[in-house]
Structure formats: structure tokens, C-alpha cells
Amino acid sequence: MPKPKKRGSNHQRGAGGQPRNVQPFSDEDASIETMSHCSGFSDPASFTEDGPEVDEEATQEDLEYKLKGFIDLTLDKSAKTRQAALESLKSAFSSKILYEFVMERRMTLTDSIERCIKKGSKSDEQCAAAGLACLLCVQMGSGIESEEIFKTLGPVLKKIVCDGTASIQARQACATCLGICCFIVTDDITELYSTMECLETTFTKAYQRDRDTNGVSSSHNTVLHISALLAWTLLLTICPVNEVKKKIEMHLHKLPSLLSCDDLNMRIAAGETLALLFELARETDADFFYEDMDLLTEKLRALATDGNKHRAKVDKRKQRSVFRDVLRAVEERDFPTEMVKFGPERMYIDSWVKKQTYDTFKEILGSGMQYHLQSNDFLRNVFELGPPVMLDAATLKTMKISRFERHLYNSAAFKARTKARSKCRDKRADVGEFF
């Protein structure tokens, strides 16, 4: 039986912790270099040329003790306290590599996440727990331990996604989590197909048209359908060729109906999914032919030049930009290559598959995306970046101006700004004659 594409695993390590006073995880914690001394990587953004030396071991111990406190608080009776603890753990996991810390506590974390998703009294808590589950798998990467986590959380996530009585926000977060975790850990083709079927059952409901309207009826379920569609699309990128062909044949003639949806985000999600499907179809079949090409390109061109006065200008600009690229992909097989910079490295996003994968992980990692691209073995394997780049102190110094030079620049800018503002405020300034 064929297997889905296997992803890499993390091998970063952390240190143990000693008791200290627990304080909330803050942006300051995230900015301090707390990686393991075994990782062989230093974050350029945290390097200070002439600042005091930081006791990394003590800082790591401080951070880990805080995190242990947050894990304990996920069991608190107060929903507000549990949610705050989950959010703090999310912040730490997105900004640091904590492989050994997570490895030692993965089952405790999994139990806490499962409990918060199942019994969370509010959708915000369930959303935070689902988000933490994504980051837990990102930290762990592919491997047996991650598969154990998914075996526990997968059924819970599927149940929430399919539960019509659960809040839409919770179902949406669980759909996204289900797709990302399956993408990271699944080495079982049957589990991959089962997960895709769950997501498929959810987003295909958006295909249903209202009999009294010409377009797709909008509903409060739209955000759920969007998340399920994007998660399904992500998993499609790691499917065997034969399965890809089946899914393309099944959905390619239905997806264009979503381009008429009232919701901008649904139109964009459908458009980008179409572009990705065309890309995969042409890669798997050199003679691929789409019968309704003229009708589809007409729809895409209308969206790429939309001047509807009833839509906000910002929405129209965003839609036109996206659909110009989608139209080029469908008509000309072209993709506008983008470059992503992180530290001394560069990565080129040169396909819709790569863009979909990058956008997905950027959504859950946020500002920590660059850091993880530099040092997370799993993500580097996904994007074929090779092992983390080793940087010595001399190289880091050349990458950042000195504190004195930065001070001179800021002083000059401040003086110029003050001078300009003073002219505007000076009562003696010539304002012209009005009489």
C-alpha cells in the first residue's frame, strides 16, 4: 500500500529546569535566546554586539519553569485561567524550539489539550487548545511520538468538526488543526484518507446552492467550510498520484461554483485551490484537458477586474490581486515567484503547492515563522532547506550594525523629525494672508 510523503523530524534539545517564581510568558521571554546549547544555532535577531553576556542556562531554566506552571494551569477550574495558560504555551512554542522539554511532557500536554477541547466551557478555550495541538506537532515533527499524539487527538478533532451543536469557531479551529497535524505526523495512508474524507464531508456542503438564488448561499458556516477546504488542500499535496487524480476529477468541476460566494475569503480560498489543482493535474498528466476552460477563465477574469461598487475598496484590491495570479496559473501555467528572507538565508516560493504549505504554517506560527524556518528541522525538511545553517559570532556581527551606530542613526532621525515639527508649530511661521 502506498504511503504519504514522510516529513522530517526535529532533533533540537533543551535543558532541565529548576524551581523559580512563575511569571506569565511575555514578549521579552520570546525575544531572549533560550535555545539549547546543543542546537548549534544562534538567532541573529537576539545577538547584541556589545551587550552583557546572557546566562543561557539560567534563562532556559527560568523559561522552562514558567512553562511547567502553565501546563499545570491548563487543569485549573477557571476557564479564563486555562485559556490564558494555553495562550502562553502557544506563544512560547511558536517563538522557541523546545524539543526536549516537549518530548518529556508530550503525554501530559496531549491530555491537557484533549481535556480542553472536549470539555472546554467556551469556544475560545477550544480554539486555543487546537492551536496548541498544532504547535505541539510542529515542535515534535514527524515520528512515532507525534503519531501517538495524533492517535489521541485525531478522533477528538474529527468529532468536534462534525458536531453540528459545537460552536463554529471551535469546529473551524479543529478543522485546521486536524489538517496540519495529519500533514505533519501521518505515515498511515488510511489515516490520511480518513482525515481528508472528514474535511471533504464538511466543505462540500458549500457546494449546495440555494434554490432561490443564483449564487452560493452565504451562511454562518462559511468560515468552517473555508478552513476545511484549505486543510483538505494541504493534505492533497502529500497524496499519492492516483489519489490526486481521483480528487481532481471529483472536485475540479464543482469548485468554480464557490467563486460566486458572497464571502471574499471563500472566493479567494476557492480560487487558490483551483490554481493548485490545475498545477497538480498538469504535473500528474501531461495531456490534462479541462472541458469548461472558457467558462472558468471568464469567471476568473471577471473577479480579477471586479469593479462592483457595493464592495469595499480594500476587498476589491485584494480580490483583483489574487485572481490575476489565479488566472495566470490556469491560463498560462505561470506562478509569480516570491522570495522569503530569514536570517542569512533565502527561500523561493515558486509553486502553488509551496505557497499553500508556507501560508498554512505562517498562519499558526505568526511572527515565529522566520525563526522556525531557520532552526526547525521538520520545517526545513518540508521546504527542502537542508540542515540549519551554523553561524559563528563573527558572522553574526557582520549581520547587525553596532549599538553605537544605531544610536547615531536614531539621534539624527529624532533631530530631523523634531526640527520639522517645530516649523509647523512655530507661531511665527508664515501662514499667508486671508484678508
Domain check: are 95 and 181 in the same one? Answer: yes
pLDDT of 230 > 60? The answer is: yes
Domain check: are 192 and 257 in the same one? Answer: no
What is d(CA 35, CA 371) in angstroms, rounded to the nearest whole number?
A: 11
Of 290, 307, 334, the one marking the end of a domain is 334
* Confidence band of 99 (pLDDT split at 50, 70, 90): very high
- Domain containing 283: what range? 240-334
Domain check: are 95 and 224 in the same one? Answer: yes
Report residue 83: phi and psi, to 5°: -65, -40
Question: Is the torsion defined by CA of 3, 286, 300, 326 positive or negative?
Answer: positive
Domain check: are 305 and 397 in the same one? Answer: no
What is d(CA 184, CA 435) in angstroms, rounded to the nearest whole number?
A: 74
Is-contact 343 307, C-beta < 8 A?
no
pLDDT of 35 > 90? The answer is: no
Can you name the residues that pair with 118 across neighbouring β-strands? none
Q: Is residue 417 part of a domain?
A: no
What is d(CA 5, CA 183) in angstroms, rounded to the nearest whole number?
A: 9
CATH number at residue 130: 1.25.10.10
Domain check: are 78 and 164 in the same one? Answer: yes
Task: Give pLDDT, residue 34.
Answer: 33
Domain check: are 258 and 378 in the same one? Answer: no
Task: Give pLDDT, residue 36.
Answer: 33
Domain check: are 390 and 330 in the same one? Answer: no
pLDDT of 61 > 90? The answer is: no
Task: Give pLDDT, residue 338.
Answer: 93
Of 317, 334, 351, the one marking the end of a domain is 334
Query: Which residue from 129, 137, 128, 72 is spatially nearest to 99, judged by alpha carbons?
Result: 137
Q: Is residue 353 part of a domain?
A: yes
Q: Is residue 398 part of a domain?
A: yes
pLDDT of 354 > 90? The answer is: yes
More confident residue, 307 or 249: 249
Domain check: are 277 and 342 in the same one? Answer: no
3-state secondary structure of 332: helix
Domain check: are 162 and 310 in the same one? Answer: no
Q: Is residue 3 part of a domain?
A: no
Domain check: are 330 and 342 in the same one? Answer: no
Q: Is residue 88 part of a domain?
A: yes
What is d(CA 420, CA 325) in angstroms, rounded to the nearest whole number?
A: 42
Domain check: are 183 and 278 in the same one? Answer: no
> Which amino acid, 364?
I
What's the whole-model pTM score? Answer: 0.78
- Span 409-418, pLDDT tens digits: 555 555 555 5
Of 334, 359, 376, the one marking the end of a domain is 334
Residue 189 CA, distance from chain mean position: 24
Domain check: are 306 and 185 in the same one? Answer: no
- Total tally of structural domains belonging to the chain: 3
Q: Is residue 50 part of a domain?
A: no
Is-contact 155 207, C-beta < 8 A?
no
More confident residue, 308 or 108: 108
Q: Is residue 374 part of a domain?
A: yes
